[in-house]
Amino acid sequence: MLKQDVIPMRFSQIKRINSRAVSSYLGQAVWPILGLVIFIGLWNVLAKNVDTSLGQFPGPVAVWEQANVLIEEHQAQSAKAEMFYERQEKRNAQRVLNDPGYEPKIRAFTGAPTFFEQIWTSLYTVTVGFLVASILAVPIGIFCGLSKAAYGAINPLIQLFKPVSPLAWLPLVTMVVSAAYVSDDPMFSKSFITSAVTVSLCCLWPTLINTAVGVSSIDKDLLNVSKVLRLNAMQHVFKIVMPSSIPAIFTGLRLSLGIGWMVLIAAEMLAQNPGLGKFVWDEFQNGSSESLARIMVAVLTIGIIGFVLDRLMLQLQKQVSWDKSATLR
C-alpha cells in the first residue's frame, strides 16, 4: 500500500521538474530568437529603401541566394580541380609509359580560390598568428608579473606599441618579410607570413598586459605558502602562478583573438593577401549587381566565425580552469 503511494508521487515530481526545465530552456531561447527576427525584419524593410550605384542594398533574401550561389561555385570549382588532377595523372602515366626516364611533375590547380577556400586561409592565418603571439606573450607576461624590474623595463614598450594599429606595421612587415624570407622552396607563402605577423603584432598586447596584471595580483598568502614550502622558480610558476592567473590569462587571450580576427580581415583587404578580406575587396572592385549581397554574406560569415572562435576559447578556458563554479561568459 505504502510503496504504491510513494512511487507515483516520485514520478509526478520528476515530470514536473522536467517540464519546468524544458520551459525555462525555451524561455531562454525566446529572447535571442525574437531579437534575430526583429533584426531581419528591420533589415528587410530598410534595405529596400537604400539604392546604390550597384543596385538596391541586399536584403536577407538576396543574401541567402548569394550564400547558396557561393556554395554552388565552390562545389563546381572543386569538381573542376578534381578533374584537372585526374587528367594530369592520366597524362603523366601516359608519358611515363612512353618514356620510362620521365619524372612526372604535379602542377597545382590554378583556379581562383572560392569563398570557402578564402575562409580557410583566413582561419589558418589567424590561428597561426594568434598562437605565435600567445606563446610569446604568456611567458613574458608571467615574467613581468613576477619581477618589478622586468615590468619596469617592458612597460614603456607596451605603452608605446599597444595603441599602434597593426595596419601601420603592415608596409614594414611586408618589406621585411620580402627581404628576409627568401627561399627557393618556401614552406609558406610570403602573403601568409605577412598576414600572420600582422595578427601576432596586435595579439601580443592584451594577453601580455592581462597576464602581467593577473600574475602580480596573486593572493599574498599563496605567495607566503610558496615561500614556506621553498618551491623553486619553476614549481612556483607552475603550481602557484599559472593556476591562479588562468582567468586573467584567458581574458587576455580572448581579447587578443577577437582583435586579431578583426585586424586580419583589414590586413587582407589592404595588402591583397588571400583570405576573407581579399574576397570582400575583390567583390567590391568587381562591382556586379550581386557584389553587395556577396559582401554581406562575407560580413555575416566573419561575424559568425568571430563568435565561434570566442566560444571555442571559452570552452578551452572551462576545460583548463580549476574553478568549475565560476560563471564564464
Partner 1 sequence: MSTKHHLELTQVGIDFPTPKGPFTALSDVNLRIKKGEFISLIGHSGCGKSTVLNIVAGLYQATTGGVILDGREVDEPGPERAVVFQNHSLLPWLSAYKNVELAVKQTKNGRNKQQIRQWVEHNLELVHMSHAADKLPAELSGGMKQRVGIARALAMEPKVLLMDEPFGALDALTRAHLQDSVMEIHAKLGNTVLMITHDVDEAVLLSDRIVMMTNGPAATVGEILDIALPRPRNRIVLADNSQYNHYRHDVLKFLYEKQRKVGSVDDHRKNSSGSHSLGNKERSKTKSDAA
Q: Does 167 bind partner 1 (CB under 8 A)?
A: no
CB of 140 to partner 1, least distance (A): 20
Residues 109-148: x where in contact with partner 1 by CB under 8 A, - otherwise, as a string = ---------------------------------------x
Interface residue with partner 1 among 16, 48, 87, 227 (CB under 8 A) is 227
Q: Which is nearer to partner 1, 79 or 229 (CB)?
A: 229
Interface residue with partner 1 among 30, 300, 323, 328 (CB under 8 A) is 323
Q: Which is nearer to partner 1, 146 or 257 (CB)?
A: 146
Q: Does 3 bind partner 1 (CB under 8 A)?
A: no
Q: Does 225 bind partner 1 (CB under 8 A)?
A: yes
Q: Does 86 bind partner 1 (CB under 8 A)?
A: no
CB of 204 to partner 1, least distance (A): 27
Q: Does 217 bind partner 1 (CB under 8 A)?
A: no
SS3 state of residue 46: helix
Q: Does 150 bind partner 1 (CB under 8 A)?
A: no
Interface residue with partner 1 among 131, 150, 176, 222 (CB under 8 A) is 222
Q: Does 327 bind partner 1 (CB under 8 A)?
A: no
CB of 150 to partner 1, least distance (A): 13
Interface residue with partner 1 among 86, 219, 287, 318 (CB under 8 A) is 219
Q: Does 231 bind partner 1 (CB under 8 A)?
A: yes
* CA separation for the pair 59, 296 (Å, rounded): 9
Q: Does 88 bind partner 1 (CB under 8 A)?
A: no
Contact residues toward partner 1 (CB under 8 A) are: 148, 219-222, 224-225, 227-231, 239-240, 243-244, 322-323, 325
